[in-house]
């Protein structure tokens, strides 16, 4: 018997806040022959009456090498000094079974662009402490050059080292707030 109680399907109304311990915001971008990844751990997200929104402090960016973090914070990339926050705001979430689709807008480095988010949803369900939770695994792709991030370096074969298409991922656990 599961300790998690299924309560209802669909996107709930009310206010839900991200449990950031059990959530993650990350990015992936092609680099040379592989994929470069990182996270932005200082973020917040909320679901209010079916609309998802979130923001992250880019200064918290984490990759596996601190010198690369410094480059990502520099004007070549996020320009964190001038633009410390990246954000997302979405319209109503369209749910079809376990899949979701959200039309929204992403703002990075002072530029806002439309974004289509796709992914899956789990819940709402009541957890073992009685809290009502809903989980999302979301993903979107964006062109970093549209946000003024044009840095690159040519490889010996003439190709560019860093891809322009960045995948943003958000694994969110949101907890219902007391009315």
Partner 1 sequence: MRILAISGSLRDGSYNTALLRALREEAPEGVEVDLWQGLKVIPPYDQDDDVVPGPEAVDAFRELVRESDAVFFSTPEYNSSIPGALKNALDWGSRPVATNVFRNKPVAVISASAGAFGGVWAGAELRKVLGAMGARVTEAELAVGHAHEKVTEDGVIEDLDLRQGLSDALQTLVTSALDRAAVA
What lies within 8 Å, CB to CB, of 159 at 6+ separation is none
Number of residues counted as binding partner 1 (CB under 8 A): 13
Q: Judged by CB under 8 A, does residue 81 bind partner 1?
A: yes
Query: b/e map of 19-40 (b: 16 or more CB within 10 Å)?
Result: beeebbbbbbbbeeeeebebbb
Site for partner 1 in 48-77 (CB under 8 A): 66-67, 69-71, 73-76
Minimum CB–partner distance for residue 111 and partner 1 (Å): 16
Binding flags for partner 1, 104-123, as an x/- string (CB under 8 A):
--------------------
Minimum CB–partner distance for residue 33 and partner 1 (Å): 22
CA–CA distances in Å: residue 17 to residues 9, 46, 127, 158: 18, 4, 15, 46
Instruction: Assess contact for 38 and 31: CB atoms under 8 A.
Output: no
Q: Judged by CB under 8 A, does residue 3 bind partner 1?
A: no
Which residues contact partner 1 by CB under 8 A?
66-67, 69-71, 73-76, 79, 81-82, 151
């Amino acid at each position: 018997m599961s300790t998690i109680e299924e309560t209802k399907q669909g996107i709930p109304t009310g206010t839900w806040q991200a449990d950031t311990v059990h959530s993650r915001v990350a990015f992936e971008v092609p680099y040379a022959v592989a994929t470069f990844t990182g996270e932005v751990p200082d973020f917040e997200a909320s679901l209010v009456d079916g609309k998802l929104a979130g923001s992250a402090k880019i200064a918290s960016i984490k990759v596996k090498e601190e010198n690369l973090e410094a480059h990502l914070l520099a004007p070549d990339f996020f320009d964190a000094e001038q633009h410390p926050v990246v954000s997302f705001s979405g319209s109503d979430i369209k749910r079809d079974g376990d899949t979701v689709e959200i039309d929204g807008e992403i703002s990075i480095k002072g530029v806002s662009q439309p974004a289509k988010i796709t992914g899956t949803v789990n819940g709402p369900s009541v957890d073992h402490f009685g809290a009502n939770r809903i989980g999302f695994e979301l993903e979107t792709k964006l062109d970093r050059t549209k946000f003024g991030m044009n840095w690159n370096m040519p490889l010996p074969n003439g190709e560019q080292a860093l891809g322009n298409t960045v995948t943003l991922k958000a694994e969110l656990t949101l907890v219902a707030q007391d009315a």
